[in-house]
Amino acid sequence: MAGQSLIEIIIPNWNGKDMLEHCLLSLRRQTFRGFCITIVDNGSRDGSIELVERQFPEVRLIKLDRNTGFSVAVNTGIEAAVAPWLLLLNNDMEVAPDCLENLHLAVGKHHDYDFFALKMMNFHQREHIDGAGDAVLRGGVGYRLGTMEQDSEVYRQDRETFGACAGAALYPRRFFTQVGLFDNDFFAYLEDVDLNMRARRLGNRCMFIASAVVYHIGSASSGSKINELTVRLSTRNNFYVLLKNYSPGLFMRFFPAIAAYQIAWMLFCLKKGMLFPYLTGLFQVVGSSPQLAAKRRQMRDKNNLVPMQQFAAMIRSAEQEAVFSIMARRTAAGKGNFLLNLYCTLLL
């Protein structure tokens, strides 16, 4: 029962039947048993609901009548949860048998930390990292540390990170009382970057747990990583992150890095033939500017905020970690780092 569980696992699902079954079967093999599962289904039409009702009666199922996006689905699960700890998990994960046990032990060990990032490995290339905690770029996007790098001693130790990828992250319920829920206006993409920034501005700290391993497929619901939907939402939500979390002064201070990222992203979209969704995302930002300004003011009025100068130093440090991770991956693949070295010299 949920009321007797220490951890409640919240899984958003939209037409993810095949991977959802694999995920739930891996949870049945856990060595730690003090958990329950809540699935929030976003109006699936692929038999996901029937699968859960038929094969996994122990799972609580919350049915939404349409695809409300990641943020709304996860927030629905968070608001309905009763366990003291909430593990957010994508439906395209295989969970290692000792993952929850190791996570439970780590929480007791790292009691000075407020939320936790799991170790995400590549589902198909299991010696390669998919994400070992989240960093952030000053341009307003996140970066999963270690992505596409081969696992090494660097990622076999617990360590503090800027934040956590919401596809595999553990939070105490009180975290959302203080920081707030995911922003529903994001729909999907970068909502966890926004949450990480709000959490860090409020003084929360995140620990990466190296022994809590999951295997991630990636893009199981939205399909290809680069399509019109992902480009439009990523472009729009990038500016949502910036305009919500940066003061005007910090925005101007980081403007060279923001401009460099935006130019690189625009050129990438042009190369992929995605100029129209890119421009559509920008247009949507203009219409949302008043609401974003209001949200920034609400955050500014909270108590015990980390000073903006200290927040800026956190972001810069996290970006350095992200850039070094990217350069390490490229070096291992035999690629050069001329532009990244130039970026570091001129802007970092």
Answer whether residue 73 shows pLDDT above 90: yes
List, for residues 156-198, the tens digit of each pLDDT value: 999 999 999 999 999 999 999 999 999 999 999 999 999 999 9
| Helices 228-245 + 275-300 axis angle, to 10 | 30
Measuring CA to CA, which residue among 211, 232, 229 is closest to residue 219? Answer: 229
Answer whether residue 313 shows pLDDT above 80: yes
| Residue 2 pLDDT | 56
Q: Rounded to an integer, what distance in angstroms lies between the CA atom of residue 235 and that of residue 60?
A: 35
List, for residues 2-59, the tens digit of each pLDDT value: 568 999 999 999 999 989 999 999 999 999 999 999 999 999 999 999 999 999 999 9
List, for residues 272-307, the tens digit of each pLDDT value: 999 999 999 999 999 999 999 999 999 998 988 999
Q: Rounded to an integer, what distance in angstroms lies between the CA atom of residue 315 and that of residue 135?
A: 8
Q: What residues pair up with 135 in beta bridges, in sequence order?
A: 143
Q: Rounded to an integer, what distance in angstroms lies between the CA atom of residue 180 and that of residue 115?
A: 14
DSSP symbol at 58: T
Q: Rounded to an integer, what distance in angstroms lies between the CA atom of residue 242 and that of residue 251?
A: 7
pTM tops 0.85, yes or no:
yes
**Domain locations in the chain?**
228-347
Q: What is the DSSP string of 276-291?
A: HHHHHHHHHHHHHHHH
Looking only at the bridges linking them, the beta strands covering 159-161 and 60-64 are unpaired
129 membership: H or E segment, kind and range: strand 129-131
Q: Rounded to an integer, what distance in angstroms lies between the CA atom of residue 15 and that of residue 9?
A: 19
318 membership: H or E segment, kind and range: helix 308-332
Measuring CA to CA, which residue among 184, 196, 194 is closest to residue 160? Answer: 196
Answer whether residue 238 shows pLDDT above 50: yes
| Residue 3 pLDDT | 60
